[in-house]
Amino acid sequence: MYELLSGKHPLWDKNKDTRVSYKEKIVNFKELNLDLPCFSDLAKSLLQKLCAHNPIHRYSSAEALSHPWITRQGTDIPRSFIE
């Protein structure tokens, strides 16, 4: 989703990275840089939930498919798993 919206890989930079530096980015991954104009607030919300470091906070596929960015139903950003 990140790559489709931004046109770039979220971690790999072909001009800077080597296999070793890329592997280190994956191992030490904490969060994505979502400060790009191509991401709406709803898209940022969904990406943050899909890539949450803690698996308990990470969206399942069913939760992702019911997110307003996917369904286009409503425009409020969900604030919890129940919402």
Give residue 82's pLDDT. Answer: 52
What is d(CA 22, CA 27) in angstroms, rounded to the nearest whole number? 9
**Which among 35, 37, 36, 46 is positioned nearest to 72, based on CA atoms?**
46
Considering only the top CATH level, what class is 2-71?
Answer: mainly alpha
Tell me the per-residue pLDDT of 67-78, one tens digit each, with 9 for 90 and over.
989 998 876 666
Residues 6+ apart with CB under 8 A from 13: none
Does this model's pTM top 0.85? no
Tell me the per-residue pLDDT of 43-54, one tens digit each, with 9 for 90 and over.
999 998 998 888
Q: Contact, 78 vs 67, CB < 8 A?
A: yes
Burial class (CB in 10 A: 0-12, 13-18, 19+), 32: middle
